[in-house]
């Protein structure tokens, strides 16, 4: 089986593939100080919960937005899985031309998402990733990564609001707003953050569609996508597994027979 690991700033999402089929997937909080041994222990425990073990993992790939954790995951694979983990970064074959001034600046997860979306749709598309930041990544009809946009994520906005306004409480945005007009302070914050973020997403996607084509499909992913996407009219579908799928595709493109 292939272990695909997506290390985000807030959460780490990983899954086990048997061929093209995702057998299991897990999420846990990203701890930036984690060592290879700690990652190995966490992986072993989570695999055991699904009646799996290290011996069933014969290949692995990682993308990381936390620079310190990519090498730790690779060291974990070398020590506990007995093989070299493929890391998404410079020199890896993605099959996607990059139209970015400095390709080394692109977040690994953004490129992985773009690869997965284009592989599925076969044409121009836009990926909106609702993570710590909200990223927008357009892909051309020719399958080129064009660049993108980055805006503060939902949780960053909430933290800034509650930290700078002492009287405002922290709000759970996994609960949908009761309406546009809040009848309590919590309702008002929830509605403002959700509808405000959704409106910003729609504005940006519409501008991107002005360059790519009005009917360009848009896929949302990321841990907070389900909280915002239902209120954004430009999101065509939500796929929590998009990044893991992209990792599996990139791994396949780097097999010796694919060279």
Residues with a known catalytic role: 109
Cα distance between residue 257 and residue 254, in whole Å: 8
Tell me the helices (H) and strands (E) count for the chain, helix number first: 7, 10
Question: And the tokens for 18?
Answer: 């048997």
Q: Half-sphere exposure (CA, 13 Å, Cβ side) for 44?
A: 13
Among residues 138, 71, 148, 143, which one has the least CA distance to residue 105? Answer: 148
E strands, the chain, where? 2-7, 11-18, 21-29, 59-64, 86-87, 125-130, 133-139, 149-152, 218-221, 237-238
Cα distance between residue 126 and residue 45, in whole Å: 36
Judge whether 242 and 77 are in contact, CB under 8 Å. Answer: no
């Amino acid at each position: 089986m292939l272990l695909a690991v997506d290390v985000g700033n807030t959460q780490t999402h990983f899954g086990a593939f048997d061929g093209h089929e995702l057998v299991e997937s897990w999420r846990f909080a990203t701890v930036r100080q984690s060592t290879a041994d700690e990652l190995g222990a966490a992986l072993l425990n989570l695999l055991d919960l699904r009646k799996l073990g290290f011996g069933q993992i014969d290949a692995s790939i990682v993308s990381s937005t936390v620079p310190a954790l990519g090498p730790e995951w690779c060291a974990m694979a070398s020590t506990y899985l007995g093989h070299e983990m493929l890391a998404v970064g410079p020199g890896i074959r993605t099959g996607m031309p990059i139209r970015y001034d400095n390709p080394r600046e692109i977040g690994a997860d953004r490129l992985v998402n773009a690869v997965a979306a284009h592989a599925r749709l076969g044409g121009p598309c836009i990926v909106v990733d609702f993570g710590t930041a909200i990223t927008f990544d357009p892909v051309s009809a020719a399958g080129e990564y064009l660049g993108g946009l980055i805006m503060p994520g939902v949780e960053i906005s909430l933290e800034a609001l509650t930290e700078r306004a002492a009287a405002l409480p922290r709000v759970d945005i996994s609960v949908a707003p009761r309406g546009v007009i809040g009848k309590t302070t919590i309702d008002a914050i929830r509605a403002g953050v959700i509808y405000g973020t959704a409106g910003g997403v729609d504005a940006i996607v519409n501008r991107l569609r002005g360059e790519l084509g009005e009917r360009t499909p848009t896929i949302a992913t990321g841990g907070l996508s389900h909280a915002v996407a239902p209120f954004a009219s430009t999101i065509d579908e939500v796929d929590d597994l998009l990044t893991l799928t992209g990792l599996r595709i990139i791994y396949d493109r780097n097999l010796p027979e694919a060279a």
